[in-house]
Structure 1
Amino acid sequence: MYRRAFKMKLFPGYTEEYKKRHDEIWPELVALLKETGISDYSIFLDEETHVLFGVLKAEDPAKLDDLPKHAVMQKWWKYMGDIMESNPDHSPVSIPLLDVFYMP
């Protein structure tokens, strides 16, 4: 199982809205993530810096590269773009993190 960790940035003042949107995540997005082989997906927030830290497990890391091609993924990015740093294609600014320690 492959693990991926990354960081993103939430705009100040949007913690509750970010949480609300994820509490109400669209079933079609959940289905896509699961079909892609994603499991054990968590996002944490550093309230001091507004940095979001995500970590997930995936069966096949190559399948993660196909997510941007799906309409529901693009729709979600547009939906979230008003409360977090985003790229011109509406994807979140996401910075991969280096795996330096793991204890299973």
Structure 2
Amino acid sequence: MEKRVWTGKILPGKLEEYIRTHQQIWPEMTEALNTQGIHNYTIWNNNDTVIGYYECESLQYADKVKQESEICKRWAEMMGGIMVLDAEPETNEIKSYQQIFGHK
């Protein structure tokens, strides 16, 4: 099982909208996550900082399906007006985090 962590910032005044959007997630978006093989997806916030975590069989496969999905493109477009993901400046790819500790 592969894991991904991502971070981002909620735009000023958009936290309530961000929370509401995720409480009312589109059924098509949930299906897209399932198609990507994503499980145990959780998001936390502290003020304007958000941290997401999920597990999947293959990050490469999940990323490929996401890039090809029209629903994921629509979701990302909507989220672009609510938050900004922490991305690598050179590539604009979501920053990678290396796991250094785990306890089961």
Counterparts of 1:1-104 in structure 2, within 5 Å, are 1-47=1-47, 50-66=48-64, 67-85=66-84, 94-104=94-104
- 1:20-73 Cα offsets, whole Å, 9 max, x none, are 0011111111001111110000011121xx221110010122112211221000
- When structure 1 is superposed on structure 2, of 77-86 and 32-41 the one drifting more is 77-86
TM-score (norm 2): 0.84
Q: Is the 8 A contact 1:10 1:51 kept in 2?
A: yes
Percent identity, aligned pairs only, is 28
Inter-partner Cα distance in structure 2 for 1:70 and 1:31? 11
Unaligned runs of 5+ in 2: none
Write the distance in 2 (CA, Å) between the matches of 1:57 and 1:26.
Answer: 20
What is the Cα deviation at residue 4 of structure 1?
A: 0.9
CA RMSD for the aligned pairs? 1.9
Number of residue pairs aligned between Structure 1 and Structure 2: 98
Ranges of 4+ aligned residues in structure 1 off by more than 6 Å: none
Using the alignment, how far apart are the partners of 2:81 and 2:4 within structure 1? Answer: 25
